[in-house]
């Protein structure tokens, strides 16, 4: 009984600490509806693939979205004809390289600021590397889902009808404006509203409604996952014998691998994942904590599910493999040299 | 209202209830001081602000819902967010949020106990996540200090020991410390480990630190997890290290021990953690 009660206390402590940061993240990403003119921003981007990869990866500062928000944005980038390198590096860096995530990581690891730095450096390097790799493929269409590729073809050829749908339909910075499993049918959600308008021509009142709905949606979905993740973290801390965790967490390689698997499974939002990982801070190596913080926002069950709406499975496999290898090599060499 | 609009209405309502309950829960933690048991005081105001924003959000959402069912039949197209790719099935996320909020409203958080301390491993060193001492001013108030001649709190003793580990330096110094009792089986009958948790962020990273206390009688008089105020004189003893266990036998070493003169049982403090 005592065990359960202390697990519950740890669980609520994680939630109470994480909730404000989740809320700030959600409010900011939703408020982009008011502030950001995506179309304007896109025209100012460099077309050079390498520069694009760098710009794309620091875009997170202007799009403070976590893993659930970045996929729709990356998808719109692609549909608007941006180079693959920009979209891909944005996809991988944005959940980490943004002010809220850095703040929450700092709060959680005030005593170990190197974790914050390593997280930034490794995430940026990996995102830019992956961006550069895919800049070799100047035409993104073979990587995309057939439906999306077709739309892009249509866009490029300037077919007017198609174009209307493409651009108008996705002009909202809303994390949910696409669907996973809908067979061949694009979303109807905001179509009736946006058929002849763009996000910017909406009245303030309509924007407010979209804002509230987006906050509600993201809070609900991310909050639900946060709760499941916290429950896992608290139970591991209380119910798994210390000896087992220590054995796993003190090995250089086992700890990194364990943390990367944990990151992929738990799917916790990047604004609050540092609180989650804090519960392992005293038993796991620093390198493995960094591996969790770098790999988790890039690849996990949730984000793979979302990415399936953009890329072919083969492409996701490549992305996962590259990200995993790079994370492993970087963190391993960190633990080797320090 | 057709079925899908009805379902939409209920899902929206579920969300509103979830957000409201969370606002309530955070407020309850704040107003009752139970936040002390959960997170570092630096973030108390963040929790209060979050609670207020949740409340405002609840109100905004109710107004929106009311407006649209009153005036706008296009409501379904407008707010139907449920087609978004959800990781969890429809309605689950909000149900989980509601369920946990209700649990939180009913169940009081507890003070972390010696069991947690043993699980996390007692040591005499500070954890990696603990901040270095920001200032060397002591936290003990001057009035209290003059009574007993003791200057440092338990945490300050541990910090000082981490900086200058030689136990002989402190021999003969008076001390007056409070903490909870941990029994370490590998130590002699009359020893306890007087411990406190140090918090850097939240209860999840609470880390037990402590000082060995030599009691005048057997430790069985002082049950595990009871809170004590111990007054005494510091001395050096050769004992097995606190972090040795049956699986990991270690050599005895010289350690700082508080020889208790006066032991008082005190109630669990409202704010049991140190920062």
CATH value at residue B132: 2.40.50.140
Q: What is the pLDDT of residue B105?
A: 95
Q: Which of B106, B130, B163 is the last residue of a domain?
A: B106
- Nearest alpha carbon to residue B208 among B176, B237, B179, B234: B179
pLDDT (mean) for A246-259: 88
Q: For an interface test with A, which of B19, B205, B209 has the most A Cβ atoms less than 10 Å from its Cβ?
A: B205
Among partner residues B87, B110, B115, which is closest to A302 by beta-carbon distance? Answer: B87
Highest-confidence range of A292-306, A322-336, B151-165, by mean pLDDT?
A322-336
Are B48 and B147 in a shared domain? no
Q: Which of B65, B80, B106 is the last residue of a domain?
A: B106
Residue A22 — pLDDT band, cuts 50, 70, 90?
confident
- Tally of structural domains, chain A: 1
- A209 Cβ under 8 Å from any chain B Cβ: yes
Residue A117 — pLDDT band, cuts 50, 70, 90?
very high
Domain annotation covers residue B273: no
Cα–Cα distance between B273 and B36 in angstroms, integer? 8
Which residue range is the domain that position A106 belongs to? Answer: 2-337
Are B184 and B168 in a shared domain? yes
- Tally of structural domains, chain B: 2
On whether the CB atoms of residues A255 and A284 are closer than 8 A, the answer is yes
pLDDT digits (tens, 9 = 90+) for B9-51: 888 999 999 999 999 999 999 999 999 899 888 889 999 999 9
Domain annotation covers residue B275: no
Are B78 and B177 in a shared domain? no
pLDDT (mean) for A141-148: 78
Q: Which of B61, B82, B106 is the last residue of a domain?
A: B106
Domain annotation covers residue B274: no
pLDDT digits (tens, 9 = 90+) for A288-299: 999 999 999 898
Among partner residues B50, B87, B115, which is closest to A2 by beta-carbon distance? Answer: B115
CA A290-A296-A301 angle, 5° bins: 160
Q: What is the pLDDT of residue B113?
A: 81
Q: What is the pLDDT of residue A159?
A: 43
pLDDT (mean) for A12-17: 89
Crossing angle for the helix pair A113-135 and A99-108, to the nearest 10 degrees: 150
Residue A3 — pLDDT band, cuts 50, 70, 90?
confident
Are B151 and B181 in a shared domain? yes
Q: How far is B93 from chain A (nearest CA, A)?
A: 4
pLDDT (mean) for A84-103: 87
Q: What is the pLDDT of residue B208?
A: 85
Q: Is there a contact between A237 and B119 if contact means CB atoms under 8 Å apart?
A: yes
Burial class (CB in 10 A: 0-12, 13-18, 19+), B54: buried
Are B124 and B149 in a shared domain? yes
Q: For an interface test with B, which of A16, A188, A226 has the most B Cβ atoms less than 10 Å from its Cβ?
A: A16
Residue A27 — pLDDT band, cuts 50, 70, 90?
confident
The answer on pLDDT for A193 being more than 60 is no
Among partner residues B85, B121, B204, which is closest to A306 by beta-carbon distance? Answer: B85
pLDDT (mean) for B133-154: 58
Are B89 and B224 in a shared domain? no
Are B94 and B137 in a shared domain? no
Q: Quick one: tokens of B59? A: 């109100």
* Beta-carbon contacts below 8 Å between A and B: 196
Global ipTM: 0.85
Which residue range is the domain that position B262 belongs to? Answer: 114-266
Q: Is there a contact between B204 and A220 if contact means CB atoms under 8 Å apart?
A: no
B177's CB contacts (< 8 A; 6+ apart) are B150, B152, B153, B154, B157, B194, B211, B229, B230, B258
User: What is the SS3 assignment for B264?
Assistant: strand
- Closest-CA residue of A relative to B59 is A212
- Closest-CA residue of B relative to A13 is B38
The answer on pLDDT for B123 being more than 80 is no
Query: In b/e form, how buried is each residue of A74-88, taking b as 16+ CB within 10 angstroms?
Result: bbbbbbbebbbbbbb
Q: What is the pLDDT of residue B22?
A: 96
Q: Is there a contact between A220 and B103 if contact means CB atoms under 8 Å apart?
A: no
pLDDT digits (tens, 9 = 90+) for A45-68: 776 777 888 888 887 777 766 666
Q: Which of A47-56, A137-146, B120-129 has the lowest mean pLDDT?
A: B120-129
């Amino acid at each position: 009984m005592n065990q359960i009660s202390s697990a519950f206390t740890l669980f609520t402590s994680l939630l109470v600490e994480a909730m404000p940061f989740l809320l700030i993240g959600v409010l900011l990403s939703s408020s982009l509806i008011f502030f950001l003119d995506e179309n304007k921003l896109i025209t100012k981007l460099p077309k050079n693939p390498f520069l694009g990869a760098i710009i794309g990866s620091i875009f997170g500062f202007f799009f403070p979205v976590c893993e659930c928000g970045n996929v729709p944005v990356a998808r719109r980038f692609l549909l608007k004809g941006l180079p693959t390198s920009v979209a891909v590096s944005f996809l991988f860096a944005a959940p980490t390289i943004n002010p809220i995530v850095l703040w929450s990581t700092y709060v959680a690891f005030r005593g170990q600021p190197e974790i914050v730095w390593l997280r930034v450096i490794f995430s940026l390097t990996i995102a830019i590397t992956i961006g550069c790799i895919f800049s070799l493929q100047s035409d993104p269409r073979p990587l995309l889902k057939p439906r999306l590729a077709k739309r892009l073809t249509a866009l490029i050829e300037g077919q007017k009808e198609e174009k209307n749908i493409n651009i108008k339909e996705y002009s909202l910075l809303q994390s949910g404006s696409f669907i996973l499993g809908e067979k061949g049918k694009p979303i109807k959600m905001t179509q009736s509203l946006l058929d002849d308008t763009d996000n910017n021509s909406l009245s303030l009142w309509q924007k407010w409604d979209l804002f509230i709905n987006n906050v509600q949606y993201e809070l609900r979905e991310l909050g639900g996952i946060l709760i499941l993740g916290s429950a896992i973290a608290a139970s591991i801390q209380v119910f798994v014998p210390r000896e087992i965790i220590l054995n796993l967490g003190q090995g250089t390689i086992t700890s990194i691998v364990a943390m990367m698997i944990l990151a992929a499974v738990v799917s916790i939002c990047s604004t609050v994942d540092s609180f989650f990982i804090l519960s392992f801070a005293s038993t796991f190596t620093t390198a493995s904590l960094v591996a969790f913080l770098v790999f988790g926002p890039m690849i996990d069950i949730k984000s793979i599910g979302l990415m399936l709406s953009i890329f072919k499975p083969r492409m996701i496999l490549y992305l996962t493999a590259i990200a995993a290898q790079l994370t492993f090599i970087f963190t391993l060499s960190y633990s080797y040299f320090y | 209202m057709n079925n899908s609009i009805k379902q939409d209405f209920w899902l929206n309502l579920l969300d509103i209830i979830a957000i409201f309950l969370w606002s309530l829960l955070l407020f309850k933690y704040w107003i009752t001081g139970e936040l002390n048991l959960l997170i570092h005081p630096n973030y108390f105001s963040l929790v209060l602000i979050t609670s207020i924003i949740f409340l405002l959000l609840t109100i905004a959402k109710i107004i929106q819902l009311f407006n649209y069912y009153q005036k706008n039949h296009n409501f379904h197209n407008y707010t139907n967010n449920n087609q978004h790719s959800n990781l969890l099935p429809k309605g689950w996320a909000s149900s989980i949020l509601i369920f946990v909020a209700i649990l939180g409203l009913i169940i009081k958080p507890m003070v972390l106990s010696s069991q947690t301390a043993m699980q996390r491993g007692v040591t005499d060193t500070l954890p990696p996540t603990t901040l270095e001492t920001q200032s060397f001013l002591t936290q003990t108030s001057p009035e209290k200090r003059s009574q007993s001649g003791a200057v440092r709190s338990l945490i300050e003793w541990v910090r000082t020991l981490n900086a200058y580990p030689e136990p002989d330096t402190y021999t003969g110094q008076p001390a007056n410390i409070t903490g909870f009792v941990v029994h370490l089986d590998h130590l002699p009958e009359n020893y306890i480990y007087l411990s406190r948790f140090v918090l850097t962020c939240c209860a999840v990273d609470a880390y037990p630190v402590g000082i060995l206390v030599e009691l005048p009688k057997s430790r069985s008089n002082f049950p595990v997890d009871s809170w004590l105020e111990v007054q005494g004189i510091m001395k050096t003893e050769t004992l097995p290290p606190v972090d040795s266990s049956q699986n990991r036998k270690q050599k005895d070493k010289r350690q700082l021990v508080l020889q208790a003169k006066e032991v008082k049982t005190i109630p669990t403090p409202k704010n049991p953690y140190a920062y």
